[in-house]
Structure formats: structure tokens, C-alpha cells
């Protein structure tokens, strides 16, 4: 029985993670402006992108998010992003200027982001990371950079947003 207990606990954690749960508060520092809190967007569908400033995939994805924000704003969707690599604070202004249009982006640190995501990153992670939070403030899903969602992000993200905005 003792050898089964760790397996049961891991299975319980996995199922607890997959179920929608209240989104933990995340404070995103906004470089010269007041901090942004995810809880401020309750009542909207939030698409939270967690990015690294030097990652080419993240840079390209940040540009794609601008179009999604434009297309889904009328449906109550808010895109929010945070860069969280070691150069996040120093590189935020350049990253925002070059890759981001139409949605807020700030910075955080890796420890805070990893803690916010929870058990999904225990084995490591790839960026970009995308989290969906529903109108009631529940964390519906988190997609690490190697997730199938990123195989066809345009189609898959739109399908997820269409589902959440019904």
C-alpha cells in the first residue's frame, strides 16, 4: 500500500491541476506605471502570455497576440503579457516597442511565474506559456511552449477563445 500512495497523490495532483480552479493573483510590474493585477480583469476572458525577451518564438508570438486582442476585444477578451527572464526588467521597453501593440505587457520574475503556474512546470518548461482565465476568474488551462496548442496557434487559440466567450 505504501508504494501506491505516491502514485495516488501524483494522480490526484494531476487531476486537480486539469480542473478549472480559481486563478491565483499575479502582480505584473509595469515599468513606471502602477502594477497590473490579473484580478482587475474579472468579468473578462484573460489570455495571459508569459514570455522571454530574447526568445524568437516569444517575440513572434507577442506580435500574433496583437491581432487576437484586436479581433476578440469586442467579445470581452483581454490579452495580458509578462516577460520573466533574467533580462525582463531591463529589456521590457525594447520588447514592448518592437513586438507588442494593443495590450499591456509588464515584467515579473521566474520564481513568481513558476509558482503561479504550479505543478505543470515541475519537470521544466518551454516558452511561450499561455494561460486562459474565464470570466469568473478561473484558471481554465495553461499551455507550455511545447504543448500541441502551439502546433497551430492561430486556429487553436481562436477555438479556445470562441469556446470561452460563448
Q: Is residue 9 part of a domain?
A: no
Question: Residue 150 falls within a domain, yes or no?
Answer: yes
Q: Which residues of the chain have pLDDT under 50?
A: 1-17
Domain that holds residue 43: 20-164
Domain-embedded: residue 8: no
Within a domain: residue 7? no
How many helices and strands, by DSSP H and E, does the chain display?
A: 5, 8
Q: How far apart are CA 72 and CA 93, in angstroms?
A: 25
Per-residue model confidence as pLDDT tens digits over 65-102:
999 999 999 999 999 999 999 999 999 999 999 999 99
Domain harbouring 142, CATH code: 3.40.30.10
**20: which 3 cell numbers?**
478549472
pTM of structure: 0.88
Q: Is residue 37 included in any domain, yes or no?
A: yes
- CA dist 46 and 75 (Å) reads 11
pLDDT at position 18 is: 57
Asked whether residue 114 is assigned to any structural domain, the reply reads yes
Do the domain assignments include residue 12?
no
Does the residue 11 lie in any domain? no
Q: Is the dihedral of CA 60, 31, 114, 132 positive or negative?
A: negative
Number of domains in the chain: 1
Euclidean distance between CA atoms 103 and 64, whole angstroms: 11
pLDDT of residue 19: 59
Query: Could you tell me the CA-to-CA distances from 40 to 9, 27, 99, 103 in Å, in that order?
Result: 34, 10, 24, 14
What's the chain's Rg over C-alpha atoms?
A: 16
Amino acid at each position: 500500500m505504501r508504494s501506491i500512495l505516491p502514485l495516488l497523490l501524483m494522480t490526484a495532483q494531476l487531476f486537480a491541476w486539469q480542473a478549472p480552479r480559481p486563478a491565483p493573483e499575479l502582480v505584473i510590474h509595469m515599468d513606471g506605471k502602477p502594477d497590473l493585477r490579473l484580478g482587475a480583469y474579472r468579468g473578462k476572458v484573460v489570455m495571459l502570455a508569459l514570455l522571454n525577451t530574447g526568445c524568437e518564438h516569444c517575440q513572434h508570438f507577442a506580435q500574433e497576440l496583437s491581432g487576437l486582442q484586436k479581433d476578440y476585444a469586442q467579445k470581452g477578451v483581454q490579452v495580458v503579457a509578462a516577460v520573466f527572464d533574467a533580462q525582463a526588467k531591463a529589456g521590457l521597453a525594447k520588447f514592448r516597442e518592437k513586438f507588442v501593440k494593443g495590450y499591456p505587457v509588464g515584467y515579473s520574475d521566474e520564481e513568481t511565474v513558476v509558482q503561479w503556474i504550479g505543478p505543470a512546470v515541475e519537470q521544466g518548461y518551454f516558452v511561450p506559456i499561455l494561460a486562459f482565465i474565464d470570466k469568473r476568474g478561473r484558471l481554465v488551462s495553461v499551455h507550455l511552449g511545447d504543448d500541441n496548442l502551439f502546433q497551430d496557434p492561430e486556429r487553436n487559440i481562436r477555438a479556445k477563445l470562441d469556446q470561452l466567450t460563448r
